[in-house]
């Protein structure tokens, strides 16, 4: 699935977008609004909150662990294929896998922290300007349809898209 991020001028626009994408099959579990106006989110019947700090919408640090595990598995598979399995070689393979995992986790964590920081700064800038952030999780099949529909709105601006792996919409 993809996660689409949009900004809009106010909660009225966000409610209009919510109604439109719900008609396209997007339910509340795949739609989230961020706004500095908590009471406004409730009065507009929107599913949302006021900051990223209380959500796991950006979970790239979790993805770093998945990436590191994939590197570990790759190194282990290659190692088993290249080395005769003896006790000494097995210990070396375990050591090499451990180092590969640690290095991949450290590198991915640094990259992911930078990514999260960039997204948070971008979204906070929009929120501080009184805008509303609309977050929509879509399947790859739904993505072109939803993006095309939202392009028709003059008050809606596309910010970014990412994966939603390991970062569910808060309930």
> Mind listing the pLDDT tens digit for each residue in 77-101?
887 777 777 777 778 888 888 888 8
List strands edge to edge, sheet with 132-138: 48-49, 31-34, 132-138, 2-8, 156-163
pLDDT of residue 157: 92
Per-residue model confidence as pLDDT tens digits over 125-144: 988 898 999 988 888 888 89
* Mode of pairing for the β-strands spanning 132-138 and 48-49: unpaired
Within-domain flag for 116: yes
Within-domain flag for 74: yes
Q: Is 15 helix (H, G, I), strand (E, B) or coil?
A: helix
Within-domain flag for 64: yes
- Name the domain count of the chain: 1
Cα separation, 148 vs 113, in Å, equals 31
CB atoms within 10 A of CB 54: 9
pLDDT of residue 84: 73
What domain range is 46 assigned to? 2-163
**Tokens representing 18?**
């919510």
pLDDT, the chain, mean = 81
DSSP 84-147: ---HHHHHHHHHHHHHHHHHHHHHHHHHHHHHHHHHHHHHHHHHHTT-EEEEEEE-TTHHHHHH
Within-domain flag for 169: no
Q: Identify the bridge partners of residue 47 per DSSP, sorted by sequence position.
A: none
Q: Is the pLDDT at 109 greater than 90, yes or no? A: no
Within-domain flag for 168: no
**Tokens representing 153?**
């709105």
Average pLDDT over residues 98-120: 82
pLDDT of residue 6: 94
Within-domain flag for 22: yes
Within-domain flag for 56: yes
């Amino acid at each position: 699935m993809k996660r689409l991020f949009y900004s809009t001028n106010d909660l009225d626009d966000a409610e209009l977008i919510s109604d439109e994408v719900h008609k396209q099959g997007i339910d509340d579990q795949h739609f989230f609004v961020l706004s500095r106006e908590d009471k406004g989110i409730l009065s507009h019947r929107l599913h949302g909150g006021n900051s990223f700090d209380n959500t796991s919408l950006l979970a790239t640090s979790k993805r770093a662990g998945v990436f590191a595990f994939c590197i570990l598995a790759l190194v282990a598979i290659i190692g088993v294929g290249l080395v005769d399995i003896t006790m000494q070689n097995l210990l070396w393979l375990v050591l090499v896998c451990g180092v590969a995992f640690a290095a991949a986790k450290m590198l991915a964590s640094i990259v992911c922290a930078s990514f999260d920081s960039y997204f948070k700064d971008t979204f906070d800038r929009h929120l501080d300007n009184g805008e509303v952030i609309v977050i929509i999780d879509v399947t790859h099949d739904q993505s072109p349809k939803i993006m095309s529909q939202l392009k028709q709105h003059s008050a809606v601006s596309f910010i970014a898209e990412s994966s939603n792996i390991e970062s569910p919409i808060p309930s």
